[in-house]
Structure 1
Amino acid sequence: MGASSQAGVFGGLNPTEYNASNPLTLFIIQVVIILVICRLLHYPLSLLRQPRVIAEVIGGVLLGPSVMGHIPNFNSTIFPTASMPLLTLVANIGLVFFLFLVGLELDIGLAVKNLRTAGTVAIAGMALPFALGVAVSYGLYRTYHLADSGSNPVSFGLYALFIGVAMAITAFPVLARILTELKLLSTNVGTVVLSAGVTNDIVGWILLALTVALVNASSGIVALWVILCSCGWILFLGFIVRPIFRYAARRSGSLDTGPTQLIMVFTFLVVLVSAFFTSMIGVHPIFGGFLAGMVVPHERVFAVGVTEKIEDIITLLFLPLYFALSGLSTNLGLLDNGITWGYTIAIIVIAMFSKVTAGTLAARVNGLLWRESFTVGMLMSCKGLVELIVLNVGLQAGLLSQRVFTMFVVMALVCTFLTTPLTTLLYPAWYQTKTMLWRRGEINWDGTAVDMPPLPSHRGEVGRPSAETVREGVVPLAPFKVLVTLTRIEAIPGITTFLRVLIPSNISSDHAQALHPSRRLVSEKADSVSTAHRSDALMIHGLKLEELTDRTSALMRATRIEDEDSPLSLRNDPILQSFVSVGRFWDRCRITGAKAIIPDNEFAQYTASTAVDLGSDMVVVPWTMASGADGDFIMSRMVRIVKGLYESAPCDVVVILDRGFDSAAIEHVNKGHNAANWMFAGGGLEGKHHILFPYFGTKDDLEAFKFLKERVFANTDVTATILHQPDFDTDSHDSLLSFTSAYPDRIVIESIESNVTDVSGYILEKAKQEIQSPADFIMLGRETAGATGSWTRMTSPSSSSVVTESTQSNVLGELADRLTSGGVLGSIIVYRAK
């Protein structure tokens, strides 16, 4: 390497001039240009819910001869022919590892569990496109291949085989992401498509490997040896390498905690050796990478852990280079006559029609509704990046000319682009809801409700037990169904402390004592509320919300989370484990959990939908305080969640602004008490909680008071001060006095003088006096919290703050914001009525 090559621009070096002894400079320029253009294109396309591969291919097309190639000297300067081998080498290394990720992503168990349906849809979805692809290949072969390949054309049989495979392929990675973004994973459509997609992908890669092997073989006996060696390698990987891999991963603890560095080195060696072997025997090296991904242990968190370690550099750096190369090989200028465009349109129509028709009929045979079946067919027509990889393999193998390659690239882009909008049109959210309710027997197909017996509720509707009838000993207390959103583990202590308050003292395990059977009947007659001991006081469902990112690992978690037996569901989620385990220590309380991996802008809508499915009485949103950049991000996310639930939740919404709700429990432990009692008995100073409740008669206040009266005040560890306005209406005042007279030692009612002008300031000073522990809290109705100032504003129904800005005060209310920043010690609970 000469000194001049290292002299830099001050020594006269031109960074855009390719130098074989120092190719890095121009390579960096190429990479930066490709990544910037792909990212700039991805943003507007993502608004149309298009996968990233669309932007990457279009970016390559723009950089190629179709667009920027018309700029004088652009391609010869930025992408000179001499620099292409290095760019191709790096891109193909990335492609090998990407196919390894594809193999990791495939869940064969899903296809096995739905073998009949998956097999039917996959086989039908490949057979018809393959047959029509063979038919159209005759014209393509005679019109283009014989003319463009010169004296070295491949046989028509191999050409037809490749065209048929290219038509039959379905892009599983892109398909899985579309299903996840459209929230179809848990539907019948999602299950069928995922299962069939796995089968289609595996069969497609086998056929493509066979095609490439036959093309590279110089004779029939050579082709036979290639096929036999390929089969032998698959058996070797499956029966020798896979058991060794699983044993090493288990012994190192990688199955449970993720891969160690040594295991990652072993993984890379398996990928590279497998790619080397398949390349050496005459099959493309990407098949070796794909096979390596298939044999890596998929148990527990291992496959996801491996993916997390390598996915970003592969999908964000190497893969765009590969698709940019595809774009550089795509020349739309070659589609320059009517016959060529006629073939292009025919290819698009055949690809769409054959996939949709075959998938629809196969799904219908398996019992899906017609609209669901059309959706399955539409989704199976997705081509995506797998199709582009197949086309590039065909181009490199000499099966496709650049003209025909361009035709098929256009087909792949059109089919992938249309998948999401047409699926949304065919299978909208309202139809999904209608189908779900119809299958559950809750509605008739015409939409009319099926007569159902009334269900118990805490509100005391007609035909349902109320808290008052429970106190009279008539019926047991109805279970109170609470849905809790979980996003951060820091919220667990505070939310469990709050939920513990909802269990009445006389039915909780730490207040009840064991009784001899002969004494139980007497005890139940003496204490009528103890009849509630027969049913669960609380039915709590924790919904862990995790953001679906562009990462493959997030997609793997999302596609496998629907499997109840999957170890990715609950057992390896520390937030859900911590939350659900609380139920083991509480009597008469049932706690369950589930996990959803979805885009964060759908958190609120998904939570509201879950509340409908569960028949929840209340949605509880813990909002932990944080600072710095992380705090800003959490604030923005929580604002979106709370605002969305205000608009769409079918029940009451309670936001807990946690400011150390359980922190006083640390003092409890220091006194020498058992730590388990602290963790699961509620915390606080001996488990006591004091509530300050400004009550001004708004709708939210009324519902909040019902909630306190029916669910919180039954706990003898709770005391309260209720503030109310002057000139309180007689009925409400008498109702308050009548209720609180039953708790003269625990509840105090105070009236605020009419001459007080700064109401929020008065409440702030009162809160500083009343709230003496982080275990205490202030209960605010959302309408009350949204107003400050005079009594007129405080009581006016129109005073509810309109949520138009992404700030805490505009979501929780100005009063809540003032209390938070005013030095009040306890937490704040904002109650929004249905």
Structure 2
Amino acid sequence: MTLQFGSFSDQVLSIARRAVSQQGGLLNGQDPTAVNTSDPLRLWIIQMGIIVTLCQLLALAFKKIRQPKVIAEVIAGIILGPTAMGRVPGFTQHIFPQQSVSYLSLTANIGLVLFLFLVGLEIDTTIVRRNARISGTIATGMILSFGIGAGMSKPLYDHFINPSTSYGHFLLFTGVSYSITAFPVLCRILTALNLLDTRVGLCVLSAGVANDVIGWILLALAIALVNAGSGLTALWVLLCVAGWALVLFFPVRWALHWFARRSGSIESGPTVFFMTVTMLLVFASAFFTDVIGVQAIFGGFLVGMIVPRDNGLAIALTEKLEDMVSIIFLPLYFTFSGLSTNLGLLNTGTIWGFVFAVVFTDWAGKFVGAGLTSRAVGFKWREAATIGSLMSCKGLVELIVLNIGLQAKILTQQVFSLFVLEALILTFATSPIVEWLYPPHLRVRAIGGDLSNARKERRKSMDTDKHSSIATLISTKTHFTIVLDKLEHLPSIMTITQLIRPASSSSSVVSEKEADHLPPVVDALRLIELSDRTSALMKSSQTDALMQADPLLSIFRTFGELNDVPVSSSLVVVTQENFATSVADHASDHNSDLVFIPWTPPSFSSAGASTVDLAGSASQMSAFDFFKASGINDNPSMALQSRFIRGVFSRSPVDVALFLDRRPTTESARHSRQHVILPFFGGPDDRLALEFVVQICASSKTTATIVRYSKIEGESESSVEAPTKTHIPDFGRHHEASMTFPDTVYGAANTTMRLQSETADNILWNNFTGPNVSPTPALSRIDFSTTSTPTPLKSVIELVSSEQARRNRLDGRLLIVTGRSRWLAVESHQAELDAIVRDLGGIGQEFRKTVGDVASALVVTGSQDGLIVMQAANVPT
């Protein structure tokens, strides 16, 4: 017994030693790339790391030329395949050995099922229903593409396909490959080219949905015919697929909708239990469609289409899955395709002739088919050509078709490589062709596109008269657009709304003949950033639902109702670089009189530690301390906000006001009265500020001090002590050329311009201070004065300091209103501001350009009061 026990122990120890030696890995001299079928994780991680890294690097490069990420992923797959890296000795044997392909294929296909589920979530049938006639008509253009593909299938079959392969099957796959449009890639191209909110973009989205659904049906038909042994079996397969679709679209869809409501997923987002049930349903559907003879991807696609869209549930589901699918799984699928792509097989003149023929005929079929049908439904020739070019986009969807054909042995590797190259060329060419056919100045936006040119010209004429002529009365503003893009802007926006609340017509400073007594309207424009995520694209197509559910807009609408302020709301989903253009277009289309932009520093919890140390604790730091301490150049979020604000300044066809709000405190919230200080130097911006201050003083709770400054020769520099001296690094000399706008330099102060501006200044000033001015309640609340000084900025700072001390003794808040004076300015304060900056510390040069010299001087001195910087509409005089 002892011997037997000892022998058994030796065997156990021997097995343990072998196991340990096998797990020792690199330290035991083992090759980490060696295939271990019982534990393939190590090699899979190496493959995944190489694939994802290469895809991301290429994606960064192609993003510079506005190409979708799919281009980078396809090229990465080709590079890692036999076309390029496969020619390096030992690369394929160590990184992608044949024994590991099955594991890579499994992971890639799991990701593909999830991706098709996301595609199903992305398809919004309401878009098709809203544009049923247009989308249906344009989608019929795929008939021409299918016919051309069927015609090209004959010479391709005769030259490259084995006669044992059914020609009917090859014809069907070729026709589907020609007629299909890559809807997911199409959405991303529309995003990159800023076409989502145009008539062409909405039309292409609608037609793309219909085209995509028809294409998947055709592909299912092709697969059923290939997998079936006879025509009767294929019919049974199709009937089973149709029956399963009906089961999903009716009883399962109703049950899923009931379950989403019962679990609270619609009200509060998908719960863990709802996510579990949905994922099980996705893979159960994929299993069923696979076992009946159709690819598993169709099961995931169908489940994606039945998920409830209520309250953004589909968007929330997409947000939970999209990153993992797009970062990990899809690149693996493209690489798996790339391993089957060998462009080296395209090595004869004949095959290259077919490459060019396939590329041209495929593009021409879509261009002509979709273009002519678009023209038939009322689009202009240039728009129709753009739609035709966009519908020729291929991308991922064609690669799926080709991979299925290759696995079914309908396509040879040579023909597969030919079609992969064709899909790559057509997808790559879509963006530059569309940019050439449909440049930005010719685009017609779907939102506000019904405005007539006559109305726009009338608006432009009104603006020109208002700012270039010598006005005799103020122009009362009744329509305000307030930009809302961050939660922290809500307090500032509420402050602005209280400031511009309508006063009774009896207190107006203008007569009924000189101003329209329409109730002021506040339009809250909600900006949401459009990223390259699928969920962001889904939001862009569901703006109406988002606008009703958006918490920021809901809070502001409620605030308006409680304060008797008519509030309308709008929401746009655009890329960050198009925020400014969207604001300018919205203001023009909605005939706004003034655009308000709040600028509040980011949350202090996220501020750098050095910023907090400079000015004390975060709770004691004002917004202006933050602007002064951190500087534009040191804070990326402030740099983006500055770029956005200056973009609005340079593009807006209407007046703009920038509100730099201090951090709200409990003390300031108790004050209901407002005292306004306006330093008036002259120029269109200051005239606009003067008119605005007079208008808001119609409220009995608002008073103002307006001082007109004129600069005289004398002391050229000033020395000003800040209320609280701090040691702050000088950012004043920093400059970022990438943020330069045309409005950041003073206009040429020639004699004619100076005389015109001074005359307009004098007449407007006399309208309020002249001996023949009729007293009004608004003017009675304003203290007008004039002063001449060689250091006007120093005088403004002293005025604000004295008013601050006075407000501390009285019940009220202080607000400073100033013109930006960045164009058509009469005087430049740059030399005096430089002296103040040297004495008190620096601010970023870009910040100075954004708010102007007067506002910059107040920020440098550590002013704790709200500040409104105004710029008159940028209309040529």
CA gap 1:5/1:771 in 2 versus in 1, 3 angstroms: farther
Structure with the larger RCO, 1 or 2 (CA within 8 Å, 6+ apart): 2
SS in 1 for 2:232: helix
Q: 2:344 aligns with which of 318, 329, 333?
A: 333
CA gap 1:2/1:226 in 2 versus in 1, 3 angstroms: farther
| Partner residue in 1 for 2:526 | 544
Matches within 5 A, 1:23-422: 23-124=40-141, 126-146=142-162, 153-422=164-433
- Aligned equivalents of 1:818, 1:525: Cα separation in 2: 34
- Aligned equivalents of 1:101, 1:113: Cα separation in 2: 22
Question: For each residue in 1:425-455, what CA deviation from the matched residue of structure 2 results, as whole angstroms up to 9, or x when unmatched?
Answer: 1122221259999964426xxxxx9996999
The AA in structure 2 aligned to 1:17 is A
| Partner residue in 2 for 1:635 | 638
- 1:616 matched to 2:616? The reply is no
Q: CA deviation at 1:353?
A: 0.2
| Partner residue in 1 for 2:498 | 500
The alignment covers a number of residue pairs equal to: 768
| Partner residue in 1 for 2:677 | 692
Q: CA deviation at 1:785?
A: 12
- Aligned equivalents of 1:187, 1:366: Cα separation in 2: 16
SS in 2 for 1:776: strand
8 Å CA contact retained: 2:221, 2:238: yes
Q: 1:712 aligns with which of 696, 702, 707?
A: 696
8 Å CA contact retained: 1:94, 1:314: yes
CA gap 1:663/1:544 in 2 versus in 1, 3 angstroms: farther
Question: For each residue in 1:194-253, what CA deviation from the matched residue of structure 2 results, as whole angstroms up to 9, or x when unmatched?
Answer: 111111111110110111111111233332322221112111111221110000011222
| Partner residue in 2 for 1:577 | 554
- 1:723 matched to 2:762? The reply is no
| Partner residue in 1 for 2:815 | 777
The AA in structure 2 aligned to 1:484 is I
Q: CA deviation at 1:265?
A: 0.4
- 1:832 matched to 2:871? The reply is yes
CA gap 1:737/1:662 in 2 versus in 1, 3 angstroms: farther
SS in 1 for 2:545: coil
CA gap 1:818/1:347 in 2 versus in 1, 3 angstroms: same
- Aligned equivalents of 2:588, 2:790: Cα separation in 1: 45
Question: For each residue in 1:57-99, what CA deviation from the matched residue of structure 2 results, as whole angstroms up to 9, or x when unmatched?
Answer: 1111111111112221111111111111111111110100000
CA RMSD of aligned residues (A): 3.5
- 1:810 matched to 2:827? The reply is no
CA gap 1:505/1:481 in 2 versus in 1, 3 angstroms: closer
Matches within 5 A, 1:582-597: 582-587=559-564, 589-597=565-573
Q: CA deviation at 1:621?
A: 0.8
- Aligned equivalents of 1:785, 1:539: Cα separation in 2: 29
- Aligned equivalents of 1:74, 1:740: Cα separation in 2: 90
Question: For each residue in 1:317-374, what CA deviation from the matched residue of structure 2 results, as whole angstroms up to 9, or x when unmatched?
Answer: 1111111111222111010001111111111001100000000111111121111111
Question: For each residue in 1:481-508, what CA deviation from the matched residue of structure 2 results, as whole angstroms up to 9, or x when unmatched?
Answer: 222221112212211221222234336x
SS in 1 for 2:868: strand
8 Å CA contact retained: 1:458, 1:480: no
Mean Cα deviation higher: 208-217 or 589-598: 589-598
What TM-score do you get using the length of structure 1 for normalisation? 0.85
SS in 1 for 2:409: coil
8 Å CA contact retained: 1:460, 1:466: no
- Aligned equivalents of 1:224, 1:435: Cα separation in 2: 43
- Aligned equivalents of 1:352, 1:486: Cα separation in 2: 43
SS in 1 for 2:501: coil
Question: For each residue in 1:506-562, what CA deviation from the matched residue of structure 2 results, as whole angstroms up to 9, or x when unmatched?
Answer: 36xxxxxxxxxxxxxxxx79999799999433222221111111111001111232x
| Partner residue in 2 for 1:12 | 29
Q: Which runs of 5+ in 2 are unaligned?
A: 1-17, 609-634, 713-757, 835-842
User: Identity over the aligned pairs, expressed in percent?
Assistant: 39
8 Å CA contact retained: 2:507, 2:698: no
- Aligned equivalents of 1:172, 1:33: Cα separation in 2: 28
What TM-score do you get using the length of structure 2 for normalisation? 0.81
Mean Cα deviation higher: 53-62 or 6-15: 6-15
8 Å CA contact retained: 1:479, 1:539: no
The AA in structure 2 aligned to 1:379 is L
- Aligned equivalents of 2:339, 2:684: Cα separation in 1: 64
| Partner residue in 1 for 2:545 | 567
8 Å CA contact retained: 2:459, 2:591: no
| Partner residue in 2 for 1:656 | 659
The AA in structure 2 aligned to 1:552 is T
8 Å CA contact retained: 1:663, 1:775: no
CA gap 1:87/1:758 in 2 versus in 1, 3 angstroms: same
SS in 1 for 2:161: helix
The AA in structure 2 aligned to 1:707 is F
- Aligned equivalents of 1:483, 1:757: Cα separation in 2: 33
CA gap 1:485/1:740 in 2 versus in 1, 3 angstroms: farther
Question: For each residue in 1:616-652, what CA deviation from the matched residue of structure 2 results, as whole angstroms up to 9, or x when unmatched?
Answer: 2222111111246579343122111111112111122
The AA in structure 2 aligned to 1:811 is T
The AA in structure 2 aligned to 1:553 is S
CA gap 1:242/1:159 in 2 versus in 1, 3 angstroms: same
8 Å CA contact retained: 2:793, 2:854: no
The AA in structure 2 aligned to 1:94 is G
Q: CA deviation at 1:809?
A: 3.0
Mean Cα deviation higher: 389-398 or 729-738: 729-738
Mean Cα deviation higher: 742-751 or 401-410: 742-751
| Partner residue in 2 for 1:747 | 782
| Partner residue in 2 for 1:490 | 488
Q: CA deviation at 1:271?
A: 0.3
SS in 1 for 2:675: strand
Q: 2:801 aligns with which of 741, 748, 765?
A: 765
Question: For each residue in 1:753-789, what CA deviation from the matched residue of structure 2 results, as whole angstroms up to 9, or x when unmatched?
Answer: 6365862654563464356489422112113899999
SS in 2 for 1:209: helix
8 Å CA contact retained: 1:172, 1:198: yes
CA gap 1:700/1:273 in 2 versus in 1, 3 angstroms: same
Q: CA deviation at 1:267?
A: 0.5
Q: Which runs of 5+ in 1 are unaligned?
A: 148-152, 444-448, 469-476, 508-523, 668-684, 797-803
- Aligned equivalents of 2:446, 2:254: Cα separation in 1: 44
Q: CA deviation at 1:385?
A: 1.3
CA gap 1:375/1:227 in 2 versus in 1, 3 angstroms: same
SS in 2 for 1:18: coil
8 Å CA contact retained: 2:683, 2:826: no
SS in 2 for 1:259: coil
- Aligned equivalents of 2:812, 2:218: Cα separation in 1: 66
Q: CA deviation at 1:479?
A: 5.4
